[in-house]
Amino acid sequence: MQAVRHVVCALSGGVDSAVAALLLRRRGYQVTGVFMKNWDSLDEHGVCTADKDCEDAYRVCQILDIPFHQVSYVKEYWNDVFSDFLNEYEKGRTPNPDIVCNKHIKFSCFFHYAVDNLGADAIATGHYARTSLEDEEVFEQKLVKKPEGLFRNRFEVRNAVKLLQAADSFKDQTFFLSQVSQDALRRTIFPLGGLTKEFVKKIAAENRLHHVLQKKESMGMCFIGKRNFEHFLLQYLQPRPGHFISIEDNKVLGTHKGWFLYTLGQRANIGGLREPWYVVEKDSVKGDVFVVRPAVFPDQGLRRPPAAVASWRLAPLFYPVPCVLTLNQDGTVWVTAVQAVRALATGQFAVFYKGDECLGSGKILRLGPSAYTLQKGQRRAGMATESPSDSPEDGPGLSPLL
């Protein structure tokens, strides 16, 4: 007789992970619930709701009659996620801590704890995603040694597990799972991958999980909570006052507390000005932030990134843009998009898809020129007296991004 499979399910205290654990029990598995504490709420005067979330997760385990464990990854989260988050912002980049957290905490620290300490045959989470493996195939997976030797071979994974988009396209979370390793992915079950959010709520309501139904949706970055984002960052980073400057006439419109607080394409709240202004460029040396009114440059946030086997997204709900990827010898990737992309910023993750498969992601290191930069160059070329052979080329060149 085959032994009952042991699945360790990450519980957040929310409805998605609760229903995931319930569905695993219905499949006949031995299920253990684990709550991860990643942020020390005591350091932030109780703003983060970790303690209440832990209580809710424990209550889920009581209702489902499964064992409950709590682990603390506060130190690991600070070192691997939050420190990176601060360093990226200080350099003027736009990080995504949720992607980094999944890579280093949930699908590394928690994964190894579940397998090595609790003897799990597989782990599970409440993410809306799917893989190319059925449950029994997941249980049969063994650790696969990474290829060595030739450069090309290091990027090849034999019998790779595919990360697939969820049936509920609006709730799909493959964007945030795009950095999860093959080792973790091949031993992970996503019970909610084929369900809609509304159906998940219905299951919770029919199975005495009303306490998690009443909670608001988590939007990530629990360390910020309901606080003002700018005020939060300035608790950890030194202010660097500078000016908001209009690109129309080089006029100073106001002051700010740090150029690193703003990302390209973001609306800038400039004191005393009612009409919207948007960030188009930043000067890290002088600390100035250059802004524009949408009516002046309607394409101010567009960038033509430095070719179509794939499409890419810069945020979970962004419409995918067709592109071509070129792998360089130094491990970076060139991305050529077939159309301009709005509000690109270094530090963001570009996530790549082929059909419903998430191919992975990379952090943007360099950008192609913005529409504003190109228009500025064209105006300068028009005023110049050099011969046509000395004028700028018509199109932007390729730039390595990832």
Q: Which range is least confidently modeled, 127-131, 239-243, 395-399?
A: 395-399
pLDDT averaged over every residue in the chain: 82
pLDDT in tens, 9-48: 999 999 999 999 999 999 999 999 999 999 876 545 554 5
In 3D space, the residue among 138, 119, 132 whose CA is nearest the CA of residue 188 turns out to be 138
- Please tell me the total count of domains within the chain: 3
**Contact criterion met (CB below 8 Å) for 227 and 71:** no
In a domain, 387, yes or no: no
Q: What is the pLDDT of residue 266?
A: 86
More confident call, 313 vs 366: 366
Q: What is the pLDDT of residue 226?
A: 60
pLDDT in tens, 75-88: 999 999 999 999 99
Q: What is the pLDDT of residue 307?
A: 37
Give 345's pLDDT tier (boundaries 50, 70, 90).
confident
Catalytic residue among 101, 109, 323, 358: 101
Active-site residue, 101 included: yes
**Contact criterion met (CB below 8 Å) for 259 and 279:** no
**Contact criterion met (CB below 8 Å) for 295 and 311:** no
Confidence check: pLDDT of 201 > 60? yes
In 3D space, the residue among 184, 65, 22 whose CA is nearest the CA of residue 116 turns out to be 184
Give 164's pLDDT tier (boundaries 50, 70, 90).
very high
Q: Which range is least confidently modeled, 64-68, 128-132, 359-363?
A: 359-363
Cβ contacts of 282 within 8 Å, gap of 6 or more = 92, 259, 262, 264, 288, 289, 290
Catalytic residue among 54, 222, 323, 358: 222
Could you give the CA distance from residue 73 to residue 108 in angstroms, rounded to a whole number?
11
Q: What is the pLDDT of residue 196?
A: 96
Domain that residue 134 falls in: 6-144+156-214
Could you give the CA distance from residue 377 to residue 384 in angstroms, rounded to a whole number?
11
Active-site residue, 109 included: no
Give 3's pLDDT tier (boundaries 50, 70, 90).
confident
Could you give the CA distance from residue 134 to residue 193 in angstroms, rounded to a whole number?
12
Confidence check: pLDDT of 371 > 70? no
Percent of the chain with pLDDT over 90: 52
Q: For residues 172 and 44, state if they share a domain.
A: yes
In a domain, 224, yes or no: no
Q: For residues 165 and 292, state if they share a domain.
A: no
CA angle 132, 136, 142 (to 5 degrees): 80
DSSP, collapsed to helix, strand or coil, labels residue 79 as helix
More confident call, 157 vs 234: 234
Could you give the CA distance from residue 12 to residue 58 in angstroms, rounded to a whole number?
10
DSSP, collapsed to helix, strand or coil, labels residue 270 as coil
Q: For residues 178 and 50, state if they share a domain.
A: yes
In a domain, 173, yes or no: yes
In 3D space, the residue among 315, 357, 359 whose CA is nearest the CA of residue 333 turns out to be 359
Q: What is the pLDDT of residue 296?
A: 59
Cβ contacts of 208 within 8 Å, gap of 6 or more = 63
Q: For residues 16 and 87, state if they share a domain.
A: yes
Which CATH number belongs to the domain containing residue 124 in this structure? 3.40.50.620
Could you give the CA distance from residue 347 to residue 357 in angstroms, rounded to a whole number?
23
pLDDT in tens, 260-294: 999 888 888 887 787 888 898 899 889 999 998 87
Which CATH number belongs to the domain containing residue 248 in this structure? 2.30.30.280
In a domain, 244, yes or no: yes
In 3D space, the residue among 321, 314, 296, 318 whose CA is nearest the CA of residue 372 turns out to be 296
Q: Which residues pair with 279 in a beta bridge?
A: 291
